[in-house]
Amino acid sequence: MWGGRFAEGPAAVMREINASIPFDKRMWRQDIAGSKAHVAMLAQQGIVAADDAAAIDAGLDRVAAHYAEQGVAEDLALEDIHMQTEARLAEAIGPVAGRLHTARSRNDQVATDFRLWVRDAIDQTLTALAAFQRALLARAEQHAGDVMPGFTHLQSAQPVTLGHHLMAYVEMATRDVSRFRDARGRMNQCPLGSAALAGTGFPVDRHATAAALGFDAPTRNSLDAVSDRDFALDYLTAAVQCSLHLSRLAEEFVLWASQPFGFVALSDQWSTGSSIMPQKRNPDAAELVRGHAGRIMGCMTSLMVTMKGLPLAYSKDMQDDKPPVFECHDLLGLSLAAMTGMVESATFRTDRMRALAESGFATATDFADWLVREAGLPFREAHHVTGRAVKRAEELGVRLDQLPFAEFQAIDPRVNEGLYDVLSVDASVASRTSFGGTSPANVRAAIAAARETLA
């Protein structure tokens, strides 16, 4: 490729460091699609003869069929997927293949291919997120009325339902969907036709190639078009947020599967054993999802550091933009699939959840609220009275709803036996009817709304 300017070939190490074909071969479908759109436009504009364009288009189909059947060879001399495809095309149709690169550069070519690849990756992620949400909704509906302890500081706080807890992750996934869609909308402009950095003197129709490739419009500045990787960073940022959400659920599954919690039994499909301890059932899939989140964060950091000081326009540093994005996509896809499988197949031990919800004085706030409503106490005074009741129940080793009425009256004579109506965990969750609250009716309504949105 450099024969006209360079008298000698590159050193072996230079050849190796300069080549990106080992990783950018993943973009062969996008490279073929971009080339077909480009040559169609060249013919439409009269820049390339119709017969030549038809030969190139057919040749690209042959190259694509070869890639699909045999894969892409890693020829370091051809550097990247773009030169690999051009060489394969020349083998297939001869010298006319050289006309394909008219009015384009590898700079706008790779920018276009990479955008197409990231756009496809976003679409795949959105499909996986929808499957994850459907799994959560199914289990939330199944457990809409099953009581469990709600935690703050990992301490028993107030009773909630398992359905409500799972729906919290549906909300997180919904925000993830929004971020990926936003990223897709922002990136959907086509760099093709920007050439190396300054545009081209050929009478190209950039709107035609943009439309042919499913973009909303061509990019507006050729310098920015070939050097922008915001679209990749947007994707990585959304992926990091998504991986954090998956990691939080994974962490809960790890905790819940432990003997002290005993809230969930993960299926054999998503557990492993120990090489020395035959009794072990380890939640390794959840732990790996938790670990993948750290690697995905590293992918984002890697590309940010690569891009942080680059002058306009293209620099060879940007060849390293793709490995972190590819790695992130693979890890996120695995994490989403694993968490979806765990949610679908987990056995939730609702009897254990209820027992712990009942044992942690989780309805204390309900008693304080009752004192405000029924006895007319200011909330701060009601908080103090309730705290004394909890302390007394703790001293006697009983639940709050098992504390004798005489004990309540000794603490504050303004109480009456109606207080017992609010001290059960079922009464507590049923009373939380404010919008977004944990009452079973609310949970079922939220599930219906989420399904409508998902549809």
Residues labelled as active-site residues: 153, 274
Neighbours of 150 (CB within 10 A): 20
The pair of structure tokens assigned to 200 is 């081209």
